[in-house]
Structure 1
Amino acid sequence: MARVHLDLPEHFAFRTEMRVRVGDINYGKHLGNDALLGLLHESRVRWLAEHGQAEFDCFGAGLIMADAVIVYRSEAFLGETLIFELATADFSKYGCDIFYRVSERDSGREVARAKTGIVFFDYDARKVRGVPEDFQRLFSLPA
């Protein structure tokens, strides 16, 4: 079976920490894949908020997640603190990719790599729109 390979950017523009909660644990007694996607979402919301933006109104446009890729590198367990690092890359006319590196804070163990493709959306017109210039100017530069 071919495995997905995900190369990460060299520079990450944002970093936040979150603890693995009991509701994040699955029957295998480790972080569930559904929970990790939710934690990636939370890290993205925090990143935007640091710049006074939100997913529904990011420089005048909404964000929609078009795709997601997660590559698991190790398990994460109840009570561990995870570090989420975010970076943008691969800008197009309508969106970009957000890359995530997830690691366990105390050991530095890499837990996962992820990428979400986002497109900008005009919720009033119900259609895709171009990347806001302010977003690209702010987030396309290395940290």
Structure 2
Amino acid sequence: MARIKLELPQEFSFETTLPVRISDINYGGHLGNDRVLSLIHEARFQYYKSLGYRDELSIDGVGTIQADTAIVYKGEAFHGDEIKVQIAIADITRKSFDVLYALSCEGKEIARAKTGIVMFNYEEGKVCNIPEPFLNKIQN
């Protein structure tokens, strides 16, 4: 079976810590695979807020759409654990970029993930260029 491989950078531009809640636990007694997607969504939301944006729909007059996702599971996490989520931006084009995530707990890798993000003008209902102020922020 071919496996997804995600290479992560040495440096990340943002970091947050998120708790594993009881609702994040699956029937196996550990962090559910579907909940990893929710954790990275929360981390990405916090990243945008750290850049001065209210949410993912209010980025210099336009919003974002998640075009794709890849998650590679590396280890378990359990109720009460604090997950460190690190974020880096990669593969920036005129209209899109990738958000890379490293999830760990007490130095143990839990997961790696990537989301492909496309800028979207919701008023016009179409893909648009990355606004210059936002581009300047994510390139740093």
TM range (shorter): over 0.9
Correspondence for 1:131: 130
Q: Quote the Cα distance in structure 2 between the aligned partners of 1:33 and 1:93.
A: 32
Number of aligned residue pairs: 139
Q: Which runs of 5+ in 1 are unaligned?
A: none
Pairing 1:100–2:101 present: yes
Q: Quote the Cα distance in structure 2 between the aligned partners of 1:123 and 1:14.
A: 27
CA-to-aligned-CA distance 1:61-91 (integer Å, 9 cap, x gap): 1010000000011011111000000010101
Q: Which stretches of structure 1, 4 residues or longer, exceed 6 Å deviation after superposition?
A: none
Percent identity over paired residues = 45
Correspondence for 1:81: 82
TM-score by length of 1: 0.94
Correspondence for 1:20: 20
Q: Quote the Cα distance in structure 2 between the aligned partners of 1:60 and 1:10.
A: 32
Two-structure CA RMSD over aligned residues (Å): 0.8
Deviation at 1:96, TM superposition (A): 0.2
Correspondence for 1:9: 9
- The residue type equivalent to 1:119 in the other structure is V
Deviation at 1:97, TM superposition (A): 0.1
Q: Quote the Cα distance in structure 1 between the aligned partners of 2:85 and 2:35.
A: 14
Task: Select between 50-59 and 60-69 the one with higher mean Cα deviation.
Answer: 50-59
- The residue type equivalent to 2:103 in the other structure is V
Correspondence for 2:42: 42
